[in-house]
Every structure is written in C-alpha cells, then in structure tokens.
C-alpha cells in the first residue's frame, strides 16, 4: 500500500484525478475539475459535499496532493468555515507561516449548490468567508440516479420527471443568486472551453472572499449520450447560448464568450436522451419553440 501511495503522490494531477476511482466514463464534472486543479495548484483543502465526486476519495487516500474533508450534502460551507478559522488562528499565533497557508475549496454537485446546501452557502457568503465554491452542475442528483434538482432544465426527463413533457419546472439561476450577495467573484465555466476556464481560475487565485466557479457538467449516464460526445455536448451548450460563459466582479456582469450567430437550441437538445421525447415519436414544436424563445430572450436582454 505504501508503495502505491509513494507512486501516486508523485504523479501530475492529470493522472491523480480519477486514479483508483469508479467515476463514469466521459464525466463532464471530472473534465472540468482536472483543468481547475491543474491551474489552482495543490496548496488547498477540498471540502467535499456528498455527491458524485465523493467517489474520488477512497479512505485513507484521495487523488489530491492537498487535503480532503468529506461532509454531508448540506454542510460543506460550514466545514469550510471551520477550516478557514483554524488556519487563520494558526497564522495569527505564528504556528504556521504564510507559506503554509492553504486555499479552502468547497466541491459540490448541483444538488447541494442549488438546493440542500443553499442556506448554508448564503450564510457563508454573508459572513464574507474566504473560500472558493466549486460546483459541478450535471443538472440532477446524478449520484443517486439522476432525480431532478433545482438545476434541472425545463422539459428534461429525469428519474423523477417521467411524464410526457419531462420536468415542468425551470432551472434555478444560481449565478444571479450568488451575485445578489455581492461576493468577490462569480463565474460560469465548462471543460469544453479550457482557455476561458483557465483565465477565470487564474483570476480566482488572486482574489479573497467568497468566490463561485459554476461548471456545467455534461453527464453521459444522466443525460443520455455516448461518453465520447462529452466535449461536443459542452461546446454546443455554449454555441447555442444555453450555457452563457460569464463572470461577476465589482457589481458588473461580463460575458466572456459569445457568438454573433448562435446555433439553434435543438442542435444541443437532440443529442441527449433526456430530451428525446421532444423529437420522437413526433416533434413537439411548441416546447422546442418555448425553449428557443427563452434563450433568445436572455441574449436579447444582454445586448439591450
């Protein structure tokens, strides 16, 4: 066991993430986390809310070169507060130097970020907790069978939205909820756009206070597509305008990537089994038009 550990700890992070784990092939959340970790570096403590990425840690090992704390789904921000307080006390007492300080990173899925952990997160932002909140958003409770969550988009079929029209509700706007708290930084990213992602993580590293990185995480098993299509699905999410790449800083929202001519939303929807009922046995023109209209209205408001 010690030989395995010695070999693993010297591997670059691209090899470490996923080593010895049972992650799903083509996981869009892991795709984003690979890139984020490579830019963020190893001097951090990950506070993991129960979810898909819990599979990364197999006691007593984790694939991270930093530290790892596992918490219940709703309490990761509270765990982050305890870690940050402990580090600040050690720094104040001179028991560790600045070079030994660690970045506190909460790692959650959308079930915790949009739902179960939202109250604790809001309180942490209000306390101006110095932490990075990283959400991999696969738009459902992916670890337990893809039940609908606060992040599930309109008309998507989930394990608990099996009716002919799919999920009747709408995806919650977590970006705006965070921005309403006036934190240090909020950004959306996706693994399929690595340059945009890297620029935002570099920016996050220079800031203090509450910072959200919200990563859309295409999920082959939950969304119903071949794992080899993860990158293409991610690119289509951006090019159709369904997943705007943007950031909030100092009270302003800036879109970091946009296309003068967006692709139709159905180019994105028809590639996923969770939306197959919109195309077969007959096209649901009304539902498709409504989804397209919502995306168009968003971008019209941006340009006005």
Sketch the domain layout of the chain as residue ranges: 2-303
CA-to-CA distance for 200 and 254, rounded, in angstroms? 12
pLDDT of 14 reads: 41
Helix (H, G, I), strand (E, B) or coil at 259: coil
pLDDT of 1 reads: 30
Does 2-303 carry CATH code 1.10.10.60? no
pLDDT of 146 reads: 93
At residue 217 the predicted structure's pLDDT band, cuts being 50, 70 and 90, is very high
pTM of the model: 0.92
At residue 21 the predicted structure's pLDDT band, cuts being 50, 70 and 90, is low
Tell me the sheet residues that pair with 68. 46
Tell me the sheet residues that pair with 132. 105, 211
Among 8-17, 103-112, 247-256, the least confident range: 8-17
User: pLDDT exceeding 70 applies to what percent of the chain?
Assistant: 93
pLDDT digits (tens, 9 = 90+) for 162-185: 899 999 999 999 999 999 999 999
C-beta of residue 148 within 8 angstroms of C-beta of residue 88 = no
- The DSSP 8-state label assigned to residue 45 in this structure reads E
At residue 260 the predicted structure's pLDDT band, cuts being 50, 70 and 90, is confident
- The answer on pLDDT for 5 being more than 70 is no
**What is the rounded average pLDDT for all residues in the chain?**
91
Rounded average pLDDT over 234-257: 97
CA 193, 195, 197, 200 torsion: positive or negative?
negative
pLDDT digits (tens, 9 = 90+) for 34-80: 999 999 999 999 999 999 998 888 877 888 888 899 999 999 999 99
Residue 285, both tokens:
């023109």
């Amino acid at each position: 066991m010690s030989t395995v550990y010695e070999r693993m700890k010297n591997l670059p992070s691209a090899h470490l993430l996923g080593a010895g784990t049972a992650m799903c092939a083509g996981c869009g959340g892991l795709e984003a986390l690979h890139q984020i970790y490579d830019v963020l570096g190893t001097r951090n403590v990950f506070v993991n809310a129960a979810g898909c990425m819990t599979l990364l840690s197999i006691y007593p090992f984790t694939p991270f070169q930093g530290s790892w704390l596992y918490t219940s789904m709703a309490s990761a921000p509270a765990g982050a507060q305890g870690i940050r307080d402990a580090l600040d006390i050690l720094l104040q007492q001179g028991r560790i130097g600045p070079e030994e300080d660690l970045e506190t990173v909460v790692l959650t899925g959308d079930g915790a970020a949009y739902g179960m952990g939202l109250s604790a997160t809001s309180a942490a932002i209000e306390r101006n907790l110095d932490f990075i909140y990283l959400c991999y958003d696969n738009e459902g409770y992916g670890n337990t069978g893809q039940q609908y969550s606060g992040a599930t988009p309109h008309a998507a079929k989930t394990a608990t939205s099996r009716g002919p029209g799919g999920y009747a509700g709408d995806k919650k706007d977590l970006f705006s909820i965070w921005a309403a708290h006036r934190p240090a930084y909020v950004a959306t990213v996706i693994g399929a756009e690595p340059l945009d992602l890297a620029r935002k993580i570099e920016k996050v590293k220079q800031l203090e206070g509450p910072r959200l990185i919200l990563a859309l995480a295409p999920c082959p098993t939950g969304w119903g597509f071949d794992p080899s299509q993860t990158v293409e699905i991610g690119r289509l999410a951006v090019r159709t305008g369904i997943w705007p790449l943007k950031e909030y800083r100092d009270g302003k929202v800036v879109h970091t990537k946009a296309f003068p001519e967006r692709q139709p939303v159905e180019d994105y929807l028809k590639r996923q089994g969770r939306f197959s009922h919109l195309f077969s046995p007959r096209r649901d023109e009304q539902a498709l038009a409504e989804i397209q209209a919502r995306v168009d209205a968003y971008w019209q408001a941006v340009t006005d």
